[in-house]
Amino acid sequence: MADKKRYKQSEGARPGRGRRIEKPQNIGKTLTRILSYLLYYKARLIIAAVCMILAAVCTVAGTYFLRPALNNFIVPLIGQQNPDLSGFIRTLCIMAAFYITGAIANFTLQRMMIVITNGTLHRVRVQMFTHMQDLPLRYFDSRTHGSIMSTYTNDTDTLREMISQSVPQMINSIISVVSIFTMMLVLSWQMTIIVILWIAAMLLILRAVGGNSSKYFIRQQQELSTTNGYIEEMIEGSKVIKVFNHEPTVKSDFNELNGDLFHAASSAHTFANILWPITGNLSYAVYAILSVAGAFLAINGLTDIGTIGTFLQYSRNFSQPITQMSQQINSVLTALAGAERIFRLLDEPVEVDDGKVTLVRANIAEDGTITENAERTGHWAWKVPGSDGSYSYIELKGDVRFKDVTFSYDGEKTVLHNISLYAKPGQKIAFVGSTGAGKTTVTNLINRFYDVQEGEITYDGLNVKDIKKDDLRRSLGMVLQDTHLFTGTVEENIRYGKLDATHDDIVKAAKLANADFFIRHLPDGYNTILTADGANLSQGQRQLLNIARAAVADPPVLILDEATSSIDTRTEALIEKGMDSLMNGRTVFVIAHRLSTVRNSNAIMVLEKGDIIERGDHDSLLEQKGRYYQLYTGMFELS
């Protein structure tokens, strides 16, 4: 249970964390932003507004014709043998015309709102997804997939309900209430006083009951987000759960989370649902009181039967929009809280990219002169803008240097301490050390997933902060420990490393990674469809495709982060030649627990708690008989 509590309370890195209960913080600002999206459909909004007013007015006007129907036709015609019904039929036709017009207006309103709602949500989702692509890696490292997905699902769904149903119904209800109240005041101010007293009583009840309902509806939305996030995390970790026999614990935690959702939803709908019978029974009581009052006024000659009948019908119609407004307020508040989370995502600061240096294809003359070329040349160069508007070119060689680099992820715990190192073009640099020593952090800084707080990193003599991030990352190839394959064919997944790669390029890269053999034995070869992150492949096969993806990109600098950790010894031996070919002529950074993969490195850096404690090649480090010697001989475990 302790894990489950941390799951709900934390906003940190624990998988499946929940979010604290939220209410809309700035209703006015949020509504203004939602309105800015709706105004994109200004013409349809105007049509919808006209239809909304027309529908409400037609309903009120149609009801008003009860008065002449009763006074001028029904009451006078009582007892007549051959009454003239032409006037009565004409009145009924006028009433029917009003109601039919109102129905057409309602239908048109619904059609307009369907287009407005779906169009608005389409634009919101596009903006969310587009903006998400520009967010820094830090954003995703500090949130679970479940909490982010909840913004796309739960929050957008409540926003859809608010735009399509809640707000139109509330506006329609307000128009109806004002119109009906005006007509009642015109018909009988005496009976209207009774209605005002009834409204006051209803408002007191709505304030007491509706306040609790709103609170629990917001809690329900939060609990739903937490529960969905937990389910997603447990699905992703199903194998781990089974390995450690944690099914009972997971079930118990889910039952508690689901129980919290149940109680929040039950309380929300309990308070919401008792509003209708309370207001309904009050309306019946008021209906009876109004009937008695009307009879008394009629007996004293202060009103007539038609007025009483019409007023009573208005009183029946008066309670429904008030109840609807009270119920829709809960949905609106829930949607506004969800909208604030959507806008919070949209307001997240994107990756800062002040770089001006770009990467271009280049021709390199025999005398070293570099010129830009739009065609493939096999050479790349950095295009450096000058202060006078001119450009200079620096050949991309792959010279990477760290100068007194200090880094912290959270600003509190320092992960790297004053690190200095260099990798000359074509060198293979390896990082070894215990888990958490800072090995992966070094590679995260090279491609600017994070920026250093102190010191600098240079690439071919250029500060990486001066290079545009897209161009910097285009020059780097990465093979990560955690593979990720997209839904699509094997060929499409390899081509992800270079979108303009030909089929021959794909096959060549697969052969280089020694993936070609197993690919051709798949049911459809390179056209085999992969789903569920390549679930129909072994972990080793997925990693081979990952390596082939990096190979087809043909980058000058290659980063291998535990690239062979998921590959068995036999498979590793098969791809060793291919990896050597892939690394030939490139600057390579290797992170490995399996020390056999780093023996032929030009330099090996041994990290411990963010410091480089040893450096040298394989033989020199063994001669030192320090930490690397202990790791290599098994005297010290990499843990």
Task: Specify the pLDDT at position 555.
Answer: 84
Between CA 359 and CA 227 the distance in angstroms is 46
Residue 78's contacts (CB-CB under 8 Å, 6 or more residues apart) are none
As to burial, measured by CB atoms within 10 angstroms (0-12 exposed, 13-18 middle, 19+ buried), residue 425 is: middle
Q: Are 613 and 438 in contact (CB under 8 A)?
A: no
Encode pLDDT of 409-452 as tens digits.
887 888 999 999 988 888 888 888 877 788 888 888 988 888 89
Task: Specify the pLDDT at position 100.
Answer: 94
- Other CB atoms within 10 Å distance of the CB of residue 377: 15
Q: Which of 608, 288, 149, 627 is nearest to 616 (CA)?
A: 627
Parts of the chain with a pLDDT under 70: 1-24, 79, 206, 209-214, 239, 275-276, 323, 326-327, 563-582, 593-594, 596, 634-639
The DSSP code for 205 is: H
Whole-structure pTM value: 0.70
Q: Which of 400, 362, 349, 335 is nearest to 134 (CA)?
A: 349
Task: Specify the pLDDT at position 232.
Answer: 76
Between CA 515 and CA 490 the distance in angstroms is 11
Task: Specify the pLDDT at position 392.
Answer: 92
Task: Specify the pLDDT at position 271.
Answer: 75
Task: Specify the pLDDT at position 6.
Answer: 47
Instruction: For the domain covering 2-346, report its CATH number.
Output: 1.20.1560.10
The DSSP code for 467 is: B
Task: Specify the pLDDT at position 626.
Answer: 86
What are the residue ranges spanned by the domains of the chain?
Answer: 2-346, 358-395, 400-633
Beta bridge partners of 616: 604
Structure-block tokens of residue 287: 């209906």
- Other CB atoms within 10 Å distance of the CB of residue 419: 24
Between CA 566 and CA 17 the distance in angstroms is 28
Between CA 472 and CA 383 the distance in angstroms is 12
Task: Specify the pLDDT at position 327.
Answer: 66
> In CATH, which superfamily holds the domain spanning 400-633?
P-loop containing nucleotide triphosphate hydrolases (3.40.50.300)
Task: Specify the pLDDT at position 335.
Answer: 86
The DSSP code for 357 is: B
As to burial, measured by CB atoms within 10 angstroms (0-12 exposed, 13-18 middle, 19+ buried), residue 276 is: middle
Q: Are 346 and 131 in contact (CB under 8 A)?
A: yes
